């Protein structure tokens, strides 16, 4: 399948506006115009901004999240936010079922959901009100899993949920091994909330106390029930053995997440969106979009090749305004989500196509030169995004929870250039957070199968499962964007440049190094999978998680070749890979 045919297949199945009479958009330019006009409705002069937003979208230079492309201007009651985090669960049947209903409402409108199950009492604990025995958080997760499968079984968009549990919850071992049984919790990604104290206890091989309520979340005034002391190493070993075997759970380094949060002064985070790139408070929402870096490579594969940083800066500035407008024009499944989004105005501007852009520039993903260019690119986006948000604050106002002194005390803000910090102090800022690097899986397919997010090239050629509008999964032959450009450039007669490195050719250190270098430049988080060969050991996985924590990475997921997860991509003729549930756009 050529890239134009692939792009059209993805557009028809996911983003082309449909009515009862059939497709109402004949080409992708119609979608760009619809989305641009919808975003411009938040402006006092929409006619001035709609053409600028349409130009931003055309040519695949900027790719909004899939919910924006599918829903903006469609005159449907749908949300334009890809993902949400549920409100804090109340440890009661009424609270659990109420939260389940809120999840149903959210998913019905197209949003994925992250849920922290740590507030639920462990299996076997007594319930004072009824005198019965609790069944534990994992049993209740099955309700969410069934709900997700029921609501989204016939749609082109796969249901996506993130389930988290604190590392000191008494049911942590049951949570870690929950997906070892085939078919169980298949609509969930799972992540352990790992504290600094836990990681230190593992390093020092110290005892570890399991508590309810979790110390990570605070007791809320209740007495602890059934505290049990175990070996930190025993919990750690269960986690890394499971990640080695099944690619789950991932690790969320929750103290790093909260310490680095720009809103540390008014919220506590214990969950993320389904792919992990946006840590969010209760009822938080993610408003995502990605700059497609391959569109800014000039003269690829030649001695004159270069990355157009000025063009990237201009795109970043306009993309921030676009994403900010999405907050005002979107529907919200729940009033609490609308309140949370409008009080913080979080957005997540990111990138996709990094690995393809490096290959087109003649730079290896694993090289220091490649990492340095990635850093320079993301610094440019960070600074332009913050400058654009400051300018929006001057004309439209700062986000309501903005507090000059406490916001400026955030570690991330402290790393900004002094000029930006001074401007924030003087004028405020429109958006509490501005940057996030998502997997960008489906929108990257839409753009011709560019490498997703900051991931390496997966394979030069692969078989890809794509769901049609009726939810059926069809397998398509796909070719990497940069590789396709190289074949056209060289006529296929020349040796493939060394800059074409694929995910499984890279060492784990090369994967981690790229994520670690870029995380300090991202105020939300980065979705990244560390690929490992099939013969990687459990100790290799343990080393990766430990190194990720030490490097200040907010979350880490590993995939060992051959691990028993769902398949969305596979090489020829080998079988692979990425869990379908990680597709969140």
273 catalytic residue (yes or no): yes
277 catalytic residue (yes or no): yes
- Counts for the chain of helices (H) and strands (E), in that order: 21, 22
Tell me which of 187, 261, 273, 292 is the catalytic residue. 273
pLDDT along the chain (585 residues), means of 10: 80 86 84 98 97 96 96 91 95 95 92 95 80 88 93 63 97 96 92 98 97 76 68 97 96 98 97 96 96 98 97 98 98 97 98 98 98 98 98 98 97 98 98 97 93 96 77 82 95 89 95 98 97 96 98 96 62 37 44
Q: Are strands 555-560 and 529-532 parallel, antiparallel or unpaired?
A: parallel
Per 3-state DSSP, what percentage of the chain is helix, strand, and coil (rounded to 5)?
A: 45, 15, 40
275 catalytic residue (yes or no): yes
Q: Give the pLDDT of residue 581.
A: 35
Beta-sheet strands, E only, within 196-335: 207-210, 228-231, 250-253, 271-272, 279-280, 285-286, 288-292, 297-298, 306-307
Tell me which of 167, 275, 556, 578 is the catalytic residue. 275
Both structure tokens of 176: 């870690």
Output the CA–CA distances (angstroms, integers) from residue 5 to 8, 17, 477, in the order listed.
5, 18, 11
Q: Give the pLDDT of residue 471.
A: 66
Q: Give the pLDDT of residue 227.
A: 82
pTM: 0.94
CA–CA dist 584, 523 (Å, integer): 20
Tell me which of 277, 340, 501, 583 is the catalytic residue. 277
Per-residue pLDDT of 200-244, as tens digits, reads 999 999 999 999 998 887 644 454 556 899 999 999 999 999 999
Q: Are strands 161-166 and 297-298 parallel, antiparallel or unpaired?
A: unpaired
DSSP alpha helices (H): ranges in 84-129? 93-108
């Amino acid at each position: 399948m050529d890239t134009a045919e692939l792009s059209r297949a993805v557009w028809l199945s996911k983003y082309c506006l449909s009515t009862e009479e059939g497709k109402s958009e004949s080409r992708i330019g119609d979608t760009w115009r619809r989305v641009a006009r919808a975003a411009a409705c938040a402006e006092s002069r929409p006619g001035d901004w709609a053409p600028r937003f349409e130009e931003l979208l055309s040519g695949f230079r900027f790719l909004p999240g899939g919910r924006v492309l599918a829903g903006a201007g469609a005159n449907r009651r749908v949300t334009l936010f890809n993902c949400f985090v549920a409100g804090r669960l109340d440890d009661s049947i009424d609270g659990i079922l109420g939260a389940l209903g809120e999840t149903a409402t959210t998913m019905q409108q197209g949003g994925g959901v992250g849920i922290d199950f740590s507030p639920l009492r462990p299996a076997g604990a007594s319930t004072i009100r009824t005198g019965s025995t609790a069944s534990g958080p994992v049993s209740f997760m099955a309700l969410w899993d069934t709900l997700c499968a029921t609501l989204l079984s016939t749609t082109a968009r796969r249901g996506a949920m993130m389930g988290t549990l604190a590392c000191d919850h008494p049911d942590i071992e049951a949570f870690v091994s929950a997906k070892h049984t085939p078919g169980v919790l298949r609509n969930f990604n799972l992540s352990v909330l790992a504290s600094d104290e836990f990681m230190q206890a593992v390093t020092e091989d110290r005892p570890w106390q399991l508590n309810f309520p979790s110390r990570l979340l605070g007791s809320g005034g209740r007495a602890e029930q059934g505290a049990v002391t175990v070996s930190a190493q025993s919990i750690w070993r269960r986690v890394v053995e499971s990640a080695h075997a099944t690619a789950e759970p991932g690790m969320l380094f929750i103290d790093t997440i909260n310490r680095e949060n720009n809103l540390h002064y008014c919220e506590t985070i214990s969950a993320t969106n389904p792919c992990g790139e946006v840590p969010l408070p209760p009822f938080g929402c993610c408003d995502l979009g990605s700059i497609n870096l391959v569109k800014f490579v000039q003269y690829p594969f030649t001695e004159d090749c270069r990355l157009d940083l000025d063009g990237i800066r201009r795109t970043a500035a306009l993309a921030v305004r676009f994403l900010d407008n999405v907050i005002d024009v979107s529907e919200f499944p729940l009033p609490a989500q609308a309140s949370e989004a409008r009080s913080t105005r979080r957005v997540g501007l990111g990138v996709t196509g990094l690995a393809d852009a490096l290959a087109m520039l003649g730079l290896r993903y694993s090289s220091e030169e490649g990492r340095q260019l990635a850093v320079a690119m993301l610094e440019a986006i960070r600074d332009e995004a913050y400058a654009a948000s400051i300018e929006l604050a001057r004309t439209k106002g700062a986000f309501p929870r903005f507090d000059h002194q406490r916001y400026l005390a955030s570690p991330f803000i402290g790393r900004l250039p002094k000029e930006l910090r001074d401007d924030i102090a003087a004028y405020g800022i429109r958006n509490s957070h501005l940057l996030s690097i998502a997997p960008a899986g489906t929108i990257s397919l839409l753009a011709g199968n560019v490498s997703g997010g900051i991931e390496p090239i997966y394979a030069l050629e692969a078989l890809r499962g794509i769901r049609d509008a009726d939810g059926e999964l069809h397998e398509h032959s796909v070719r990497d964007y940069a590789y396709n450009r190289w074949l056209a450039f060289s006529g296929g007669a020349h040796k493939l440049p060394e800059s074409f490195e694929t995910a499984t050719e890279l060492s784990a250190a090369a994967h981690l190094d790229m994520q670690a270098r870029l995380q300090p430049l991202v105020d939300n988080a980065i979705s990244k999978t560390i690929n490992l060969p099939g013969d990687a050991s459990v100790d290799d996985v343990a080393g990766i998680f430990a190194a990720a924590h030490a490097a200040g990475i907010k979350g880490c997921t590993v995939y060992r070749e051959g691990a028993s997860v769902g398949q969305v991509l596979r090489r020829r003729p080998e079988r692979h890979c990425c869990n379908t549930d990680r597709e969140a756009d």
